[in-house]
Amino acid sequence: MYKLVFSLALSSVLLSAPMTVLAEASPNLGNTAMETDEVFQAFGGKTGLVNIMDDFMINLVNDPRTKPYFDNEKQTYIKAMLVEQMCELLNGGCRYPGRDMKSSHTGLNINRAAFNALVEDFQLAMDKHQVPFRAQNKLLAKLAPMYRMIEEK
């Protein structure tokens, strides 16, 4: 529970920070190439990301707060795009080929509650695969600012 509260608090802080501060505060997931590789490996590499995303999608469909966004025929595609996106964010040598976050989420009416539920569901999947807390927070710090791009006002 502590970890979840800490990560949600981290997300709230990041969401309220100016984008320029975020860009300066977390330009990479690691400070060195070695640390970056360690974070990617903490997720189990690309194979680990595939396994995490499989469980993440199950969590999203089983969660009534996120089910309306993910219980559809696009699950396989969404999982594949999430793997590529996370792999790129983790500097794992992947290139995310998907659309930008704004156009991908236009018209879905995503609010902060749905976004926070998604973060919780993602943390559950990462926990199941024993991704260390520090590595989780490094990735969550990169993901939190995306809320601004997907929120429908």
Asked whether 32 and 26 are in contact (CB, 8 A), the reply is: no
Least confident among 4-18, 33-47, 57-71, 103-117: 4-18
Size (the chain), residues: 153
Asked whether 151 and 115 are in contact (CB, 8 A), the reply is: yes
Residue 28: how many CB atoms within 10 A of its CB? 14
Q: What does the alpha-carbon distance between residue 61 and residue 127 come to, in Å, rounded to a whole number? A: 18
Asked whether 99 and 81 are in contact (CB, 8 A), the reply is: no
> Is this model's pTM higher than 0.85 or not?
no
Asked whether 133 and 20 are in contact (CB, 8 A), the reply is: no
Confidence band, pLDDT 50/70/90 cuts, at residue 82: very high
* Number of DSSP helices (H) and strands (E) in the chain, helices first: 10, 0
User: What residue segments make up the domains of the chain, in order of their start?
Assistant: 2-150
Confidence band, pLDDT 50/70/90 cuts, at residue 138: very high
Options 3.40.50.720, 1.10.1270.20, 1.10.490.10, 3.40.50.1390; CATH for 2-150 is 1.10.490.10
Nearest in space to 19 (alpha carbons), one of 147, 151, 150, 111: 147
Least confident among 23-32, 79-88, 123-132, 136-145: 23-32
